[in-house]
Each structure stands twice: as structure tokens, then as C-alpha cells.
Structure 1
């Protein structure tokens, strides 16, 4: 019996070890927070930014990667994951461009333009606790089309 339990646990981990994941099973949710290596945190952060900023799957991105009691430092959005989803879902199809993103020391940064009327530039910062995004700050400024630099930031 112990052998069967061990074999089941081993075969469940093989797809991730071999690099091909079983798409019929949902991945382990990032939240509630669990311990994560810096590399795992970076992968989780980039998965969140792809789902949120690129795919524009706002509720799914927040349900998958953001803690329910997440701290919001934008005064126009209430506290917690549900308040953020409600506020951000009002205009989910905003045309945006990510200019730069990086992750270091439990914190991810996304610099992006949103082509609303008027266009704006935003720097979002997300702090993680283990595997889960738990806090957000942003800086928002008006953007004129003349301000878009064809070489905005170098690596």
C-alpha cells in the first residue's frame, strides 16, 4: 500500500519534472500564500502579468495570484481582491502596452501605457508573500503621444 501511495505521488510530479505539464489538471493555486523560492515567485509574477495585462482575464488573474485580503494603496480602489476586481473590470479591454517589467526581492514592477482618453503611463508595484501577491502600489501620470519614446528603457 505504501508503495502505491509513493508511486502515485511520484507519477503526479513527473510532468513538472519532465517539463510537460498535464493540462487536464488545474495548477496549484498561488493563494493562500505558501513558501516559494525567488524563482517560483518570479514565474508566478510573470504568469500574473500575462493573464492580467496581456490576456486581460482580470477575475481569473486575481483569483489565481492575488490574496483575498490584499492591501491596495490606490485611494480610488477599495481594499481586498474583490474590490480590485470590481474596479478593474469596469473597463477590461483597455488597449495597453507593457514597456518594462522586472521582479526582484519579493516585488514585481510593471511599467505600462494605457491608451485611454487621455492616455496614461503607470508604474505598478506588487509585493509577494511566498507564492501570493499581497500588496499593490501604483504611480499614474498623464501621457501625451509625443512622450512615447521609441527606446523607453534598456535592459
Structure 2
């Protein structure tokens, strides 16, 4: 399901459109340039392309090289700083999950902040539950320089029919 809803100020909420129209930056091998003063629409376009490549295509190495700072500041206590550490951590984890079967993308262009909300389902035989994941990213110029995440697994005795 792909929707777009505009809300107050410069915050826009949109489900990811898999067919992006191309970046005003003409698809370079790397968008990561803190010195480039990106416009809000460039940040939005870059982030949508990052989400498509990272979340849906799961092309972690190439998308990290293109969109993440090599010195990425990581706020997940189980992952070291740097884009290489993020690739090394995320690939093996997501190999055990199908999905996402839901993704919501929020971008605040003025502040250079972006969020994804995703729901993943453990692959058969792994015993992994449904997991809701919120990833928060901060841009400097056209480069993602900081990452936070919040991960919640659905407990077997959940009383909430709509947890994620």
C-alpha cells in the first residue's frame, strides 16, 4: 500500500514509493557529502532511495557506500560506530526475517531527520516473532551521519490485536 499524507510544517508522512523518479543529483555512486547543502526535496528523494535499497532490496553494502557516512554515529548499543559495522550487523539479522510487510517513511527536511517504521515476520523455522522496528536517521548535507533504532518483538501472550 503506497500513500502520501502531508502534515503540519515540513513534516510529510509517506509510504515508500518503489519507483522513485530519480534524484536531482543524477544517481551518483555516493550521495554522502556533508559539505553539499541539500534541499529538503533532495533529502526526501535521497532517503526514499536509501529505504528502497536498504529495506526492500536489502542491498546493504552498496546502499551503505552510497548513503551512509563511513563514520556513522550508531546509537544501538549492540552495533559499533561506522557504516561497515551497521552492514555487518543488519545483514545477518534480516536474513532471518521476511518483510517488511509494512513500511512508513517520515521525513523532516528542515531538520534533516528521517524515520522508518517497519514490521518484520520471522521466517518459518526460525522461531522469531513479528518485530516492529523504528529507525531514526540524521542527515548532514546529503549524507546519513547518525542512526538510532527501537526494536519491539511481539510477545506470545500479546493482548493487543494491533501492536504494530
Please give the root-mean-square deviation of Cα atoms over the aligned residues, in Å. Answer: 2.5
What 5-or-longer segments of structure 1 have no aligned partner? 1-18
What is the distance in 1 between the residues matched to 2:79 and 2:88?
9
Runs of 4+ aligned residues of structure 1 deviating over 3 Å after TM superposition are 144-150
Match of 1:139 in 2: 150
- Do the aligned residues in 1 keep the contact of 2:33 with 2:141 (CA within 8 Å)? no
Equivalences for residues 36-47 of structure 1 within 5 A: 36-47=38-49
- Do the aligned residues in 1 keep the contact of 2:119 with 2:132 (CA within 8 Å)? yes
Q: TM-score, normalised by structure 1?
A: 0.74
Match of 1:32 in 2: 33
Q: Deviations over 1:64-105 (max 9, x none)?
A: 100000100000111101111111122444312233111002
Match of 2:102 among 98, 101, 104: 98
Task: Determine which structure has the larger helix proportion and give its number.
Answer: 1
Q: TM-score, normalised by structure 2?
A: 0.70
What 5-or-longer segments of structure 2 have no aligned partner? 1-20, 123-127
Equivalences for residues 3-152 of structure 1 within 5 A: 27=28, 29-33=30-34, 34-93=36-95, 94-95=97-98, 96-104=100-108, 105-116=111-122, 117-143=128-154, 147=160, 149=162
Structure with bigger gyration radius: 1
Provide the aligned length of Structure 1 versus Structure 2.
130
TM-aligned CA distance change 1:81 to 1:20, over 3 Å: closer
Secondary structure of 2:48's aligned partner: helix
